[in-house]
Amino acid sequence: MAHPSSEPTLKKDMAVLEHVEDSKDLIIVDFQQNVNAKICNPLAGIPKQDLLACVAAFCASYELTDKLSIFEKGALVAQNPDSFESIEELDDEDKRHLRREVTHKWHLPRTLYFTIGLCSLGSAIQGWDNTGANGANLSFPEEFGIVHNTWLVGFINAAPTISGLFAAWAADPLNNMMGRRGLIFFTALFSVFPVLAQAFTQNWWGLLLTRLIMGIGMGIKITTIPIMTSEVVPATIRGGLVMSFQLWVASILSVNLEIILIVLVKL
């Protein structure tokens, strides 16, 4: 029996890991015996029997029992990625594919590249939203009678970034509520309707309001898409493909600025 004085220490060394899609699924891990789990591998140190029990509970919760063996293999490999050769649950075909992740790291399913492409499209829209109204800066201050109010003009321009900064804090609970794909679809709507509404505004506060609403979707989307990309991409090439988000943001920023310059020259 544990000494009463040791209870605070044990409680301090216990931590709760939450599943990324559902905060109701809780796994208690003793970090006193699992130090590396804090920063390295959350599955490290969990006994095999307990790990497989958690996998079975997860599959039962989400009606994936027909895929139980696949999830079990995935959990065992995730727990010991460098020792997959000694995992008895894996057959020769499983091990061959795991070896190819190292020897042929860019040989991936087309559906995975398609997913990365869609995520990159989301980042491209992000870049367009950031600079889409730049050309309007030449006309809307005069049109709305605020040409001499530089603070207000600046605030209207910065509105998406300001609202996006605060909206980003809502990304975590919304991801738990809607999941990655659902939330990306939801925030994509903010890149369509508020943008269209900006073209029909009749005053400066209408333009400000639509840009603030657009920023809400931008702030949540910019924190969700890279996470989804990192979750589906193998670790060996994760850095390169996750950076595709910022690459496309910067690329579309550049393209948009060039389009504005071309229009100005023709005018």
Q: How far apart are CA 149 and CA 220, in angstroms?
A: 30
Whether the pLDDT of residue 148 is over 50: the answer is: yes
Question: What pLDDT score does 11 carry?
Answer: 40
Alpha-carbon dihedral sign for residues 21, 184, 118, 158: negative
**What pLDDT digit, counting tens, does each position of 27-86 carry?**
445 545 555 455 577 887 889 999 999 999 999 999 999 999 999 999 999 888 888 888
Residue 193: closest CA among 93, 261, 125, 136? 125
Distance (Å, whole) CA 190 – CA 172: 18
DSSP-based helix, strand, coil % in the chain, nearest 5 = 75, 5, 25
Q: Are 214 and 164 in contact (CB under 8 A)?
A: no
Tell me what percent of the residues of the chain surpass a pLDDT of 90.
24
Question: Using one digit for the tens of pLDDT, what is the confidence trace for 79-89?
Answer: 888 888 889 88
Nearest CA among 159, 151, 91 for reference residue 130: 159
- In sign, the C-alpha dihedral spanning 218, 219, 221, 222 is positive
Lowest mean pLDDT across 17-31, 115-129, 153-167, 190-204: 17-31
